[in-house]
Structure 1
Amino acid sequence: MSARTERKKVAAIITEYRQDSHAEVIIGRLLGMFDYTSQIDVVSLYLDQVPANDTGMALAQERGIPVYGSILDAIAAPHVGSPIHGVLLIGEHGDYPWNEKRQKMYPRRYFFEETFRALDLLELNVPIFNDKHLSFCMQDAEWIYSELKERGLPFLGGSSIPHTPQVPAYSPEKLNQVQEIFVVSWLGTESYGFHGIEVLQAAAEQRAGGETGIRSVQTLEGRSVWAAMDRGEVPEDLMMQALGSLRDVLPGHPRDHVDVPVLFIITYTDGLKGYVLQLQRFIREWGLAFREGNGEMTAARCESGMGRPYSHFEKLTQLIEQMVLTGRSPVCAERTFLTTGMINLGMESLFLGRKIESPQLCSISYPN
């Protein structure tokens, strides 16, 4: 048996494949691009959309990888002659509609439905990776999460940003008695806001006793953000500490530069408060600051890289490979379900203009 046939094989289910898409910077690495040495083989593709700037079709042809017309066929991969060992769902980018809550309606539930159907028909139980959150629809996210748990499938989801090095590095023990966490984020409210929420949760789950759930989510936009800060309801000192950890920040206060800031306020069941502030193009990376029980503040930036080839995807790709090779995920599904709920309820709060209670999230717990 050759070394190649002994390697683990995966199918990639993708919304669109073009330059700088998540598909390119993840699947591309698995195909040896960006000076990456892959430990697993991508043996089949499904492309939901093929835009004019598509690069996936030509790359697949060049590498001899079939592009199938259905998710079932891509997972069955009949040309391989043996079962695959994992499924990668990359439902990010593409020409999809937006709903009234400013959420892009990616077909992530459809991807999961067809994947589960394929696994059932093929009698497979293999790891699944899902890029970013589970769904824009909370009911769909709950269904996906329950199916993953019921089936006992190894699962890795979420953002690439929490896996980046923190600069300067700090001991996770500093988060044992954390009282407040403030994350500064940028660009799209939902798309990049989710990255910020994942940075928040990756820090929050380090507190003593692990995660205990979310009580409520509230989103403020525009002048109401600065008004809440002026009233002392939002910790301005933590925001400034987080900003101070970043590179290439414009001088002055963000209120002097950002026309429409968006602030997610997360209240945990144990009283921890989390804040994720979207600052459009005022910054170009993510940072956080937190306050311990003794009042001490710590701040760091997420070393995500500031351009192509987007180094933060290298660690994520390594974690995907680790899961496929070992059958164990380095991150529990509960984190992805929780952050999915946080961004979805955050967008609903923004749409409705009020705080949203979160009964479906208040009992989600897991150890650190």
Structure 2
Amino acid sequence: MGGADALGKAGGMRKRIAFLGTEVRTHSHSQHFLDRLALGYSWRGGWQEPRTDIASVYIDQFPENGDLGRDRVKRYGLKLYPSLEEALTLGTGKLAVDGVVIIAEHGKYPRNEKGQTLYPRYEWFKECVKVFEKSGRGVPVFNDKHLSTTWARCKEMVDDAKRLKFPFFAGSSLPVTRRMPSIDMPHNVPLKESVCVAYGGVDSYDIHALETAQCMSERRHGGEVGIRQVHAMRGQNVWKRLAEDRHADTRRLVVSALTRSHNLPVEGGYYTGKITFDWARKTLPNPVAYFIDHNDGFRTTMMLTSIRDFNYAGLRADNGEIVSTQMYLPMPTHGSSTADFFHPLCRH
């Protein structure tokens, strides 16, 4: 297989990408990405034209109500292919694009016993690998959000990318969106613990909460060294655990993160009470929480609640300072008409 020097076709030519989406409807991830990659997006006070061309589109599902896939293909003059393989080969039988974008989020797919939606991220990635192997070269692949639903599949995907020597990217918009305040965790500082208080559903939004925490906490001294264990809980069991003596620092971080939120419960235009741990326990009675113990003794607590933003707080071990911020998501129907936090995620 060719390495980095064999990834593109020609030095100064515009790169061509294959766009693979599960469905395109209003506010689906495929809609967010496809519009920006085809039309462009606002960037630093100007309009950023696309710097790549969409050579092919594959869409898996066309919902009866609200489908935008065919509309977007026609609007932007794109080529819709009936299969993933043809989208990568442009019907030639060999790889004919310079990159692949996999947006396997939204659409009607089965769930497993854990409640995870079985989006075809792994299956589509493996189809790409087949084309790469047949063609004797690979190209960069971007996968929206987490890789798959099991550790074995995720590891296999990463191992394939290493084996065939093609760049493999994945992730969420949270690490690259704007922050309020605009801060970063100082690099190489000793951190003791972190908290992310966020919202959304299990399997769909917990990845965003995890990346909110990790993009800050991985800057700690020594970097990320792996996870020892994860304990997930729901409802009042979360608050009971947090009330234990060993979680005194965690309680401080929860309160600090909540003070960064712009979506706390209100009455008559203002908070229903002072933002304290007891207030949070009463006001947000049904959270989902993940208590994550890292191999270096660091601890991360992620909470999904009924608020509508993503807030981080980290405790420095050297001076006791709490570093906190909100990862700002101008969400459509909640203070914005477009999901502009996808702009930096599409920056290329």
**What TM bracket, shorter-length normalisation?**
0.7 to 0.9
**CA RMSD between the two structures:** 2.0
- Larger helix proportion of the pair: 1
Aligned to 1:143: 156
* Counterpart selection for 1:156 from 169, 180, 195: 169
Tell me whether 1:296 sits opposite 2:303 in the alignment: no
Q: Judge which range, 246-255 or 44-53, deviates more.
A: 246-255
Q: 1:176 aligns with which of 189, 192, 195?
A: 189
Q: Which residue number in structure 2 is paired with residue 44 of structure 1?
A: 56
Q: Give the 3-state SS of the residue equivalent to 1:41 in structure 2.
A: strand
* Structure 1 partner of 2:298: 272
Q: Deviations over 1:311-335 (max 9, x none)?
A: 11100000xx2xxxxxxxxxxxxxx
Q: Which amino acid aligns with 1:298?
A: V
The alpha carbon displacement at 1:137 in A equals 2.0
Taking structure 1 as reference, are residues 161 and 310 closer, same or farther at Cα in structure 2, changes over 3 Å only? same
In the superposition, the TM-score normalised over structure 1's length comes to 0.81
- Amino acid of the structure 1 residue aligned with 2:175: P
**Structure 1 residue 298: Cα displacement:** 1.5
- Is 1:242 the counterpart of 2:257? The answer is yes
- Code of the residue aligned with 1:265 in structure 2: it is F
Aligned equivalents of 1:116 and 1:211: distance in 2?
29
Q: Is the 8 A contact 2:40 2:50 kept in 1?
A: no
Structure 2: how far apart are the matches of 1:88 and 1:262? 31
Instruction: Provide the secondary structure at the position in 2 that maps to 1:42.
Output: strand
The answer on whether the counterparts of 2:95 and 2:135 sit within 8 Å (CA) in structure 1 is no
Deviation at 1:176, TM superposition (A): 1.5
Does the Cα contact within 8 Å between 1:174 and 1:292 map onto a contact in 2? no
Give the whole-Å Cα distance in 2 for the aligned partners of 1:249 and 1:162. 22
Aligned CA distance change for structure 1 residues 275 and 175 (closer, same or farther; 3 Å): farther
Pick closer, same or farther for the CA change 1:65–1:170 going to 2, 3 Å.
closer
Per the alignment, residue 350 of structure 1 pairs with none
C-alpha deviation, 1:123, in angstroms: 2.8
SS of equivalent to 1:277 = strand
What is the one-letter code of the residue matched to 1:84?
V
1:261 aligns with 2:287: yes
* 8 A Cα contact 1:183 1:199, kept in partner: yes
Hey, what's the Cα distance between the residues in 1 that align with 2:70 and 2:184? 45
- Matched residue, 2:213: 200
2:339 to 310, 326, 329: 310
Instruction: Please list every run of 5 or more consecutive structure 1 residues that lacks an aligned counterpart in the other structure.
Output: 322-368
Contact preservation (8 Å) 1:176, 1:207: yes
Q: Spell out the pairing of 1:52-91 with structure 2 (5 A cutoff).
A: 52=64, 53-78=66-91, 83-91=96-104
Q: Kindly indicate whether the alpha-carbon contact (under 8 Å) linking 2:288 and 2:303 is maintained by their aligned counterparts in 1.
A: yes
State the partner residue of 1:218: 231
Does the CA contact (< 8 Å) of 1:285 and 1:306 recur in 2?
no
Q: Percent of aligned positions with the same letter in both sequences?
A: 31
Query: Which letter does structure 1 place at the counterpart of 2:169?
Result: L
Once the two structures are superposed, residues 325-359 of structure 1 have per-residue CA deviations (whole angstroms, 9 ceiling, x without a partner) of xxxxxxxxxxxxxxxxxxxxxxxxxxxxxxxxxxx
Instruction: Answer whether contact 1:175 1:204 (CA < 8 A) is retained.
Output: no
Mapped to 1, the partners of 2:123 and 2:208 lie a distance apart of 23
Cα distance in structure 1, aligned partners of 2:210 and 2:125: 23
1:277-356 alignment runs, 5 A limit = 277-279=303-305, 281=306, 283-293=307-317, 294-307=319-332, 308-318=337-347, 321=348
Measured after TM superposition, the shift of residue 303 of structure 1 is 1.8
For each residue in 1:30-53, what CA deviation from the matched residue of structure 2 results, as whole angstroms up to 9, or x when unmatched? 111555521111111111111122
Distance 2:191 2:180 in 1: 19
Shift of 1:295: 1.5
Work out whether residues 25 and 310 of structure 1, in 8 Å CA contact, stay in contact via their aligned partners in 2. Answer: yes
Give the drift of 1:209: 2.0
Name the amino acid aligned to 1:206.
R
Return the alpha-carbon distance in structure 2 between the equivalents of residues 141 and 201 of structure 1. Answer: 18
The Cα shift of 1:263 comes to 0.6
C-alpha contact (below 8 Å) 1:265/1:276 kept by paired residues: yes
CA drift of 1:300 comes to: 0.5
Judging changes above 3 Å, is the alpha-carbon distance between structure 1 residues 82 and 95 closer, same or farther for their aligned structure 2 residues? closer
Match of residue 345 from structure 1: none
Q: How many residues align?
A: 313
Give 1 or 2: higher strand fraction.
Answer: 2
| C-alpha distance 158-31 of structure 1, shift in aligned 2 (>3 A) | same
Report which of the two structures shows the higher radius of gyration computed on alpha carbons. 2
Counterpart-to-counterpart distance in 2, 1:38 and 1:160: 18
Q: Which has the higher contact order (CA 8 A, sep 6+)?
A: 1
Listed as ranges, the matches of 1:88-107 within 5 Å are 88-107=101-120
Q: AA paired with 1:309?
A: T
User: Normalising by structure 2, what TM-score?
Assistant: 0.85
Say which is worse superposed, 217-226 or 245-254, in terms of deviation: 245-254
